[in-house]
Amino acid sequence: MEDISRPLLDWYRRHARPLPWRENVTPYRVWVSEIMLQQTRIEAARGYFERFMAAFPDVEALAAADADTVMKLWEGLGYYSRARNLHACAKRIAAEYGGQFPSAAEELRRLPGIGDYTAGAIASIAFGQKAPAVDGNVVRVLTRLERCGDNPLDEKLKARYRSELAEIYPEEACGEFTSALMELGETVCTPGTPDCAGCPIASLCAAHAAGEESAYPVMPAKKPRRREDRRVLLMICGDTAAVRKRPDKGLLAGLWEFPNDLEREAPAGGCPCGEAVHVFTHVEWHMTGYVLNVSEPLPGYTWVTRAERLALAMPSAFRYYMGVLEEMGL
Ligand code: SF4
C-alpha cells in the first residue's frame, strides 16, 4: 500500500469537522461514539451522544445505571444489542479493570460488543497506538485506492488492510490518522460518486486514474429481505393501553411493544387504525393496526397510562401507532 499518511494528515488537520467526541478525547467517549456510529449517521448520533454523556459521564456511571434507563436513552437509535453490549461492557470494565479501559487492541477485543474495528479506534484514538480501525468507510477508500474487486464484506480483506495500514501508521499521530481515514470515507470518498476533486490522495488512487471510482467497492449480490405481515393491537382499557416486553434475545430484545402477531384476520371488535412499514436489516414488517376497547385489563399484558408508556423504551417500528394513541389523547 502506498504511504497515504502524510497527505491525509495534512488534509485532516485543515478539514476535520468539529464533533462532540473529538473534544475531550477519552477512551470512554471514543468507545461510546464509535458504538453509536455503527449503522447510525453522524448527525443522528450527535444528540444521542450528548444526552448519553450528560446521563453517564464516565464508564462507572454507565455500569451503575439500570438497564431500562440505558435502553431509554438509546430509544430510536436502533440495533439495540449495541446498547445492551455497551452496558455489559461498562460493568466488566468497572468490575475487572477498576474503571480503566485496557489500552491494547487485543485486550479491548475481548470485551462485549467490541470487535476489531472498535478496538482499533479506541486503541489508536484514545491511546495513540498503531491500531488500524477498518470499517466499511475505510474499506471503500482502500478498495478504490488500489482498484480491488474483492468482496468488501470479507473479513480476510479487512485483515489484510489492517496489517498493511499498521505498516504506514505515523508514530506520532496514530489517532489522527485513524480519524483522517474515517473522515475521508465519510465526507469525500463517499458511496456513489465521490468528490475526487477534493481528495488529498487522488494522485495515488488507481480507481480515480481509471475513471472508475463508482465501480468500487464491488458489492456481492444482496439476499432479498423477508416480509412479515403483522397485526398490531392497540388495546385500550380506560386511560391505559396494553404493552408487553419483548424476549431478552432476538430482534428488538428487551424493548417494549404493542401486542402484535402474524395473524391476517381483523380481530373481533377491532377498528382499523392504519398501516405502517418498518424495515430492519433482514426483515420488513408490514403492519396493520386495530384499536380494541376492552372493559377489563386482560391478563398477560402490562397496562400503562400515557405517562408510563412514554417512560418505556419502545422501538421506532411502533412510532406510527404511538401517534395513533397520542391523537386519541392516550
Ligand atoms: S480519488 Fe476519489 S475514489 Fe480515490 S480515494 Fe480519493 S475520493 Fe476516493
pLDDT tens-place string over residues 76-128: 898 888 999 999 999 999 999 999 999 999 999 999 999 999 999 999 999 99
Atom of ligand 1 nearest to the CA of 206: 4
Q: Identify the pLDDT of residue 78.
A: 86
Look at domain 5-215 and name its CATH class. Answer: mainly alpha
pLDDT range class, residue 3, cuts 50, 70, 90: confident
Evaluate whether 5-215 and 226-327 have a shared fold.
no
Using a 10 angstrom Cβ sphere, with 0-12 exposed, 13-18 middle and 19 or more buried, the burial of residue 220 is: exposed
Residue 34 a catalytic site member: yes
Among the residues of the chain, which ranges form H helices? Answer: 5-15, 27-37, 42-55, 59-64, 67-74, 81-96, 105-108, 116-121, 136-146, 155-168, 174-187, 206-209, 306-310, 319-327
Query: Average pLDDT over the chain, rounded to whole?
Result: 95
CA of 208 to the centre of ligand 1 (A): 6
Q: What number of CA atoms fall less than 13 Å from residue 217's CA on the CB side?
A: 21
Give the residues surrounding ligand 1 with Cβ less than 6 Å away: 141, 144-145, 188-189, 194, 196, 199, 201-202, 205, 207-208, 213
What pLDDT digit, counting tens, does each position of 248-299 carry?
A: 888 999 999 999 999 989 999 999 999 999 999 899 999 999 999 999 999 9
Was domain 226-327 assigned CATH 3.40.50.300?
no
Q: What is the pLDDT of residues 290-327, one digit of tens each?
A: 999 999 999 999 999 999 999 999 999 999 999 999 99
Distance between CA atoms of residues 68 and 9, nearest Å = 41
CA nearest ligand 1 atom 3, residue: 213
pTM: 0.79
- Best residue among 147, 201, 216 to mutate for probing ligand 1, ranked by most atoms within 8 Å of CB: 201
Q: Ligand 1 pocket test: pick from 1, 144, 148 the residue with the most ligand atoms within 8 Å of its Cβ.
A: 144
Q: Domain ranges in the chain? A: 5-215, 226-327
The pLDDT score that the predictor gives to residue 264 is 86
Nearest atom (ligand 1) to Cα of 140: 8
Residue 10 has pLDDT above 90, yes or no: yes
The angle subtended at Cα 223 by Cα 217 and Cα 227, nearest 5°, is 135
pLDDT score of 217: 97
Residues 32-51, mean pLDDT to the nearest whole number = 93
